[in-house]
Structures are given as structure tokens and as C-alpha cells.
Amino acid sequence: MNTAVVTKSGAGNWLQNLRWLIRRELWEHRAIYLAPGVLSAIVVILTLLEVLRVVTVNVSGVNVEGPPDELVRGGARLMVYAAFAVPFAMIAAFVSLYYALDALYADRRDRSLLFWKSLPISDLETVAAKLVIAAVVVPGIAVAISIVTQLFAFAGTSIGLATRGLPFGFLWTHIPLISNVTFLLYMLIAMSLWYLPIWAWCLLVSAWARRAPFLWAIAPIAAVWFVDYQVFGTHRIGQLLLTRLAGVFQSATNISGEIVGAGGAFANVDFVRLSDLITPARLFASGQLWGGIAVAAGLVAATVWVRRYREAN
């Protein structure tokens, strides 16, 4: 392993060390990009198989009814966003969870912690790099692969639509790709900030637990929730957890409400604009967002302390 690029920590070299540490994590944890890559391959293959099925069927009698604007309504565009974003978001969440719980625990398990402590890299730099991987790099790679997958899927689907009498560029003109990409990038920023305390908590457990970090990450939270619900008869802890897990969608977007339509009839919504979906002013004015960031900072400080003073074994 080439460690020549690692330099003494300082204001001028902190970012250089952080970049090197991130590269190291990507080298050692291939699931970060392999997992969304496999999902992308599956989506593309299924799309191509569907296109082949459509092309081989006699479609001479098929009549596509209705004008193009009625065939792809605003709600259907929103469904396209979800269809491509949700599976990759789920994969990214799973990979980030596994990575954050194993990142510092693995260093102690295989004794590589002793090697990394011998390098001129601070514990803060190490923890910060791992937090950036879990909160930004993993979902960022998933978003990038989902965008590429969408382009391939649209190209294949366009072939299928062309066999049914629609222009090849139908999807490209009626589903705004630029708005779609903008929405995904916005949600990447929003979710990276919103879930910071979750990944910071996982890193703290990873640095502290001697075994079974996943159990130690879940058990204290479950115990507090149980006491709050069974002993005090309240739902404050459960509501707090629910807000941290799903509250980003209420603060960062306006997907719920009039855009969804009565009864969740997505496809019946006449038109959906990007400005209807994102609410950055409400997101960055949210006390829950900044409160979570403050909690994450405290957890990172605790993680650095544990890594610095806890025994390597």
C-alpha cells in the first residue's frame, strides 16, 4: 500500500489526507459501487428483454390512443422519478448502514488500527473520511449510477415505443431529464445532511463495540423506545425516530399533498414542475435539520475520543 502521499496533518494538507483516505475506503470496500452497479445491470437487462419482447410481437394493429401530453401526465413523470430513485436509494441506505457499522470495528478486529495510528493521520481525519463515505459518497455513487441507468432504460424503452407508433424521442421530450437529475441531486444533498446523526451514531458504535456492532446500534434505541411506550405510555421516542427516518421528505419536498392527488392517484395529476417538488427554503429553515447536524457533531467528537483512547484490541 502506498502511504507516501500521507502528510502531516495541517490546514494545508487536511483535504489532501481526506481525499487519500476516501480513495483508500473505495479500494477496500468495493460494495460501495458494486451493489448499485449490479442493480443497474439488472434494470438495464430487464428493460432490454422487455424491448425485445415488444419488438418481436406483431404490433401492426396497436393503436396508441390520446395525445402525447395525456399519455405521460405529470403524475406519471413523478412515478418515473420514484421508479428509478427508490431502488438505488434503498441499496445506498443498506450499503451505508453496513459500511458505517463495520468501518471502525473492522480496523480493531484485524488490528489494522495499529498501522493507521502509526501514520501521520489524525483520528478526526479518519472518522471524518468514513462519515463522508457513508453520508455522501455511497449515496452519490448510487445517484450517478441511477442516472446512467435511466438513460440506458429510456433509450431501450424508446425503441419499444417506436414499434408502437410513437416517435423515438417521445420519452425524452415528455419526461424532463434535466429536472429529474436536478431533483435527484437536491435530494442527495438533503438526505446526506438529514441522515448525518444516523451515520455518526453507527460510527460511534463501530468504534466502541467489541463484537456485534449491529446489535449494539439497535438495542439501546429499541430499549429507550420500549420504556417510553410501555412505561410512560407516550410515543415521543417513536415519533422522533420516525421523523429522523422519514421527515426529510416532508421538509425537503412537497410530494405529499396536492401533487399526489386524492387517494394517491399519481397518474391523474395534470402537471408536476420541479418547483412543485422541492422546498429548499423549508429544508434549511428546519430546526430538525440543524438539530440533527449538531447531534452528529457531538457523536463524531465522541467517536474520535473512543478511537483515540480505547484499546486497539
Query: pLDDT, tens digit, for every residue of 87-141?
Result: 898 999 999 999 999 988 887 776 666 566 666 678 888 899 999 999 999 999 9
Return the pLDDT at 253: 85
Return the pLDDT at 154: 78
Residue 278: phi and psi, rounded to 5, are -100, 145
Average pLDDT over the chain, rounded to an integer: 78
Return the pLDDT at 295: 96
Query: pLDDT, tens digit, for every residue of 281-309?
Result: 999 999 999 999 999 999 999 999 998 87
Return the pLDDT at 210: 86
Segments making up each domain of the chain, as ranges: 16-57+65-309
Return the pLDDT at 233: 79
pTM over 0.85: no
